[in-house]
Amino acid sequence: MKQTFETAMARLEEISRILAENNVTLDESLKLYAEGVKLLKFCNTKLEQAQIKISEIDGDILEA
């Protein structure tokens, strides 16, 4: 499935919750941490663009 911002955020919340529950093995928590770091990078990259992009659906510009 393609990673979307929504799914990445949802998974991050989940990882944060699972880690806080404190009943994961050290090995598992390291894996979750590594996954979390990747997702954080993905999300932060998506938010980097500082200037809104505007384009028209086709070339025709209609007068109001």
| List of residues contacting another protein (CB under 8 A) | 5-6, 9, 12-13, 15-16, 19-20, 22, 24, 26, 29-30, 32-33, 36, 40, 43-44, 46-58, 60-64
In angstroms, give the least distance from the CB of 1 to another protein: 15
In angstroms, give the least distance from the CB of 16 to another protein: 5
Spatial distance between the Cα atoms of 8 and 43, rounded to a whole number of angstroms? 7
Cα→Cα distances 21→17, 43, 47, 51, Å: 6, 24, 29, 39
Spatial distance between the Cα atoms of 35 and 45, rounded to a whole number of angstroms? 16
The residue (of 1 and 58) whose beta carbon lies closer to another protein is: 58
